[in-house]
């Protein structure tokens, strides 16, 4: 049995001297949120090292049966530490955790064991969570920071939505990505302000919509392909081998549910837990208040999209969560839980009949809520085309892409 690795506390002195490394997942979202940390006294770096070396590094320090996203995140951290770009005695590592089942609670111990194996057992590991898993005196989230983060998530969701609706039709390739890059920098500067009135956020929504609407593009007539699945491989180019870019190169339009849906899913589970399992009433009440707040913010964004553009908005989450009725109960919440089923049904309701379900090989929640729900969904929605793609260290990119090409071939025949 392996010895327990000692936890290194991140102190207030470390906050002033250390650089905090953050793994990649959603580049636009994370760059906006990173700015919030940087302007509250933290020095952070969003890691951008990718490629096969990250996977191989993960395999060296994590068992190959470990969850693929965990392997990649740990591999990216250690690959960055080995690069010589950072003083390992002056860095800390930050990971997000939901506090639920599966890797969401095991990351901390997995990462610390891998660091010890690589000779970095002295590096502090920080957990960004709202479940009380671990606390550090030098790392604290304030209410103003959290409010800014909510706006940052919605702004990131807006740009992701617009980018996906424009990039497949733009007359000049790369125009949409260049606009995303410019707005990401602008939004990072916006988040640096001490106080941001909500009317400024809503005005920014309108300005972003106008900029994307001004991009010259052709008719929106391509096959639309939705992406669902485990949150890391669904969103991260590192995790899904740049799936979005591949779909665009195959003449498809990508449809991707936003990060806010996942946050609302986590909050709503606190309400459901009280109803089903009798958990704390006070916590459930706090979740109801937060759920209402986040839903109102999301609906504000939806109304602004509808009023100020011809783009298709996201689905309000209070409707999305009703779609699982007759398929799966709201008590099924390990990993992405019932949200995975709900997002497939949401896409179908939007007219997206071709869906890629991304899943780490052997991920039990994905096999139940993803693969397990495909048959009843197809029975109730004839003509829907859903393919499950496994992502793991032994899966080759060419095999993954060939399966997606077969799905696209079937989709194009029906157009």
CB atoms near residue 215 (< 10 Å): 17
Residue 369: the pLDDT is 87
Instruction: Judge whether residue 413 has pLDDT over 90.
Output: no
Q: What is the CATH number of domain 12-137?
A: 3.40.50
Count of CA atoms in the C-beta half-sphere (13 A) of 178: 6
Give the separation between CA 159 and CA 218, rounded to whole angstroms: 19
pLDDT in tens, 276-296: 988 889 999 999 999 999 999
CATH 3.40.50 segments of the chain? 12-137, 222-258+314-415
- Nearest residue to 158 (alpha-carbon basis) of 199, 212, 218: 212
Question: Which CATH number is 222-258+314-415's, of 3.10.450, 3.30.70, 1.10.3470, 3.40.50?
Answer: 3.40.50
* Three-state DSSP state, 386: strand
Give the separation between CA 339 and CA 200, rounded to whole angstroms: 31
Instruction: Judge whether residue 99 has pLDDT over 80.
Output: no
Instruction: Judge whether residue 123 has pLDDT over 60.
Output: yes
* Alpha-carbon distances, residue 366 vs 58, 233, 238, 369, 389 (angstroms): 22, 11, 19, 5, 11
Q: Which residues have C-beta within 8 Å of that of residue 210, sequence separation ≥ 6?
A: 308, 309
Question: Do 388 and 374 contact (CB within 8 A), yes or no?
Answer: yes
What integer best gives the mean pLDDT of the chain?
A: 92
- Give pTM, 2 decimals: 0.94
Give the separation between CA 93 and CA 206, rounded to whole angstroms: 36
Give the separation between CA 407 and CA 318, rounded to whole angstroms: 31
Residue 371: the pLDDT is 86
Average pLDDT over residues 46-52: 92
Average pLDDT over residues 366-389: 91
Q: Dihedral angle at the C-alpha atoms of 192, 195, 201, 204, nearest 10 degrees?
A: -50
Q: What is the DSSP letter of 361?
A: T
Question: Do 138 and 285 contact (CB within 8 A), yes or no?
Answer: no
Q: Which residue has the higher pLDDT, 177 or 4?
A: 177
Instruction: Judge whether residue 88 has pLDDT over 70.
Output: yes
Average pLDDT over residues 12-35: 94
């Amino acid at each position: 049995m392996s010895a327990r690795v000692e936890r290194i506390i991140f102190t207030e002195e470390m906050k002033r001297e250390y650089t905090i490394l953050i793994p990649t997942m959603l580049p636009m979202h994370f760059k906006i949120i990173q700015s919030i940390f940087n302007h509250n006294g933290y020095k952070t770096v969003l890691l951008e090292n990718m490629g096969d070396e990250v996977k191989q590094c993960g395999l060296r320090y994590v068992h190959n049966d470990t969850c693929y996203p965990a392997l990649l995140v740990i591999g990216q951290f250690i690959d960055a530490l080995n690069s010589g770009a950072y003083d390992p005695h002056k860095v800390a590592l930050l990971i997000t955790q939901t506090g639920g089942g599966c890797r969401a609670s095991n990351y901390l111990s997995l990462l610390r064991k891998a660091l010890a194996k690589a000779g970095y057992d002295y590096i502090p590991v920080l957990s960004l969570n709202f479940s009380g898993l671990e606390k550090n005196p030098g790392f604290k989230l304030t209410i103003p920071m959290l409010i800014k983060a909510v706006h940052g998530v919605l702004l990131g969701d807006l740009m992701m939505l617009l980018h996906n609706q424009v990039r497949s039709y733009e007359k000049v390739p790369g125009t949409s990505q260049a606009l995303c890059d410019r707005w990401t920098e602008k939004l990072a500067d916006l988040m640096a302000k001490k106080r941001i009135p909500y009317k400024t956020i809503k005005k920014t929504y309108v300005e972003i919509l106008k900029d994307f609407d001004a991009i010259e593009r052709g008719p929106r007539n391509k096959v639309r392909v939705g992406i669902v699945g485990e949150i890391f491989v669904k969103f991260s180019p590192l995790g899904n081998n740049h799936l979005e870019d591949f779909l665009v190169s195959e003449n498809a339009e990508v449809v991707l549910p936003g990060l806010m849906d996942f946050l609302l899913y986590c909050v709503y589970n606190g309400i459901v837990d009280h109803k089903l399992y009798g958990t704390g009433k006070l916590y459930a009440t706090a979740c109801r208040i937060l759920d209402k707040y986040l839903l109102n913010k999301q609906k504000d964004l939806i109304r602004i999209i509808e009023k100020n553009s011809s783009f298709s908005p996201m689905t309000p989450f209070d409707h999305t969560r009703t779609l699982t009725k007759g398929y799966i109960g709201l008590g099924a919440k390990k990993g992405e839980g019932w949200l995975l089923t709900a997002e497939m049904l949401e896409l179908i309701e939007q007219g997206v009949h071709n869906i890629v379900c991304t899943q780490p090989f052997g991920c039990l929640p994905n096999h139940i809520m993803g693969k397990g729900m495909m048959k009843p969904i197809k029975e109730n929605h004839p003509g829907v085309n859903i393919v499950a793609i496994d992502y793991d260290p032994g899966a080759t990119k060419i095999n993954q892409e060939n399966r997606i090409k077969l799905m696209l071939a079937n989709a194009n025949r029906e157009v």
